[in-house]
Structure 1
Amino acid sequence: MIDNEQPLSAADLIGRRLLKVTTAFHHYRDDAPSLQHLWLHLEGLGPVRCHTPSTGVSLLVDEPHGPYSMDECGSVTVVENASDVPVTRFVGQLVRSVREIRYDDGRVDFTAGLTLQFPDGGVRLLGLDDDLIIVLQDRQPGTGGGLT
């Protein structure tokens, strides 16, 4: 295991088995819930938090927190292996590859997201304005599969 709050690179995830997934959803009072954090519990690393520090995505070894209420901004719920989160379909599989999705306009350069490939497909994790968006990719690129 790696010490908590230690930043990781995308390459640190390669070859690790996904053991379980934990999510934290922010429930706003007047809006649909949004994914705030995603923890990938990886063999040999422990829980890795995919965090959106405002723009982009960062990876940290960090234990999941519990649910909590926020007076003006709703509440946060924490769920293990939520079936409605696409990455849970890959629990038990090895991470085959990870690729950073970069944003660079000449003035600003950051990791906007990650693509994780597993034996049975992959996901794209994108950070957008403090929310995490997950896009399922059913097949490896170039094999005729599309995004869903």
Structure 2
Amino acid sequence: MSDDEPYLCDLLGKRLLGAALSHDGPVGSSSSLVLRTEEQAPVRLVPQGSALLLTAAPPAGVASVPAAGQDPAMARFIGTPIRSVREIRHRQDGSDLVAGLTFQFPDGNVRVLVLDGELVVAHDRHLGEVEARLHEDVTVARAVRTCLASPSQWDAWTTEGQYLYFRYRHGEGTVEQHPSEDTDTWDLGGGSRLWTLWNDGTDDGEIALPEFLALAGLRLAPDAEVSVLSSWKGRR
């Protein structure tokens, strides 16, 4: 990926200004979804085999699309910020592949998937038998609060064993994925990335875990272990 190509984290916190299906993708792709967000160039989601590729899109790819041409699943979210972009995995016969992405907005989610080489944009839509093979790692099995004051922050692990760092300060909430809770392993150019970003318009630094999870699009497992660290870690 070149320096000019986008990353998923570039979309977080940005308002969606336009979303349209296009047929100007690379040879072999049936269609692409062109997204325009504030303060940055348009991007394009393109099927590549069974994967979903994020690339830069020429500005004209969206600027020429009339309002009536917006993808209907995305249209209701235009003007609202993208809170998170999460991977959707497809599991079948021992394989585990990234099949698409879930875009979370303040008022709901949209899934963008590659199924049988075709791009599918699904909002409140059951996809039939394939649903049983689609999985998102959004369930928290363990959460440890690591700061008793502001910022509110937790070390957390999903049921799949993925480590997440939760932080809330000055009204801004973030979820970061890292290889482990050891900050020496944190590298945004390697196994780390920003999952979620939102701002609730307040200057608060205190938030309860259930409210944080709801805003982040995550949930606690029924038997989740929730605890408080005896001393403040004060990471940053």
Same fold (TM over 0.5): yes
Correspondent of 2:53 among 50, 58, 68: 58
Q: Are the counterparts in 2 of residues 23 and 35 from structure 1 also a CA contact under 8 Å?
A: no
SS in structure 2 opposite 1:63?
coil
| Superposition pairs of residues 63-82 of structure 1, within 5 angstroms | 63=58, 79-81=65-67, 82=69
- 1:44-68 Cα offsets, whole Å, 9 max, x none, are 22211011112121211221677xx
Task: Find the counterpart in structure 2 of residue 40 from structure 1.
Answer: 35
Correspondent of 1:89 among 59, 76, 99: 76
Q: Are the counterparts in 1 of residues 20 and 71 from structure 2 also a CA contact under 8 Å?
A: no
> Does the C-alpha gap of structure 1 residues 3 and 87 become closer, same or farther in structure 2, counting only changes over 3 Å?
farther
Q: Are the counterparts in 2 of residues 58 and 111 from structure 1 also a CA contact under 8 Å?
A: no
Aligned mates of 1:80, 1:132 — CA distance in 2? 21
Structure 1 residue 128 displacement after superposition: 2.0
Q: Are the counterparts in 1 of residues 6 and 43 from structure 2 also a CA contact under 8 Å?
A: no
SS in structure 1 opposite 2:42?
strand
Show structure 1 runs of 4+ deviating over 6 A: none
Task: Find the counterpart in structure 2 of residue 22 from structure 1.
Answer: 20
**Structure 2 unmatched ranges of 5 or more:** 126-214, 219-236
Relative contact order higher in (CA < 8 Å, ≥ 6 apart): 1
% identity of equivalent residues: 38
Q: Are the counterparts in 2 of residues 24 and 79 from structure 1 also a CA contact under 8 Å?
A: no
Output the amino acid matched with 1:132: L
Q: Are the counterparts in 2 of residues 20 and 80 from structure 1 also a CA contact under 8 Å?
A: no
Task: Find the counterpart in structure 1 of residue 123 from structure 2.
Answer: 136
Say if 2:111 is the partner of 1:124. Answer: yes
**Structure 1 unmatched ranges of 5 or more:** 27-33, 67-77, 143-148
Output the amino acid matched with 1:11: C
TM-score normalised by length of structure 1: 0.64
Q: How many residues are aligned here?
A: 121
Aligned mates of 1:80, 1:23 — CA distance in 2? 12
Task: Find the counterpart in structure 2 of residue 12 from structure 1.
Answer: 10
> Does the C-alpha gap of structure 1 residues 122 and 80 become closer, same or farther in structure 2, counting only changes over 3 Å?
farther
- 1:20-66 Cα offsets, whole Å, 9 max, x none, are 1232159xxxxxxx961111101122211011112121211221677
Aligned mates of 1:13, 1:136 — CA distance in 2? 19
Output the amino acid matched with 1:54: G
Output the amino acid matched with 2:14: R
Structure 1 residue 107 displacement after superposition: 7.0
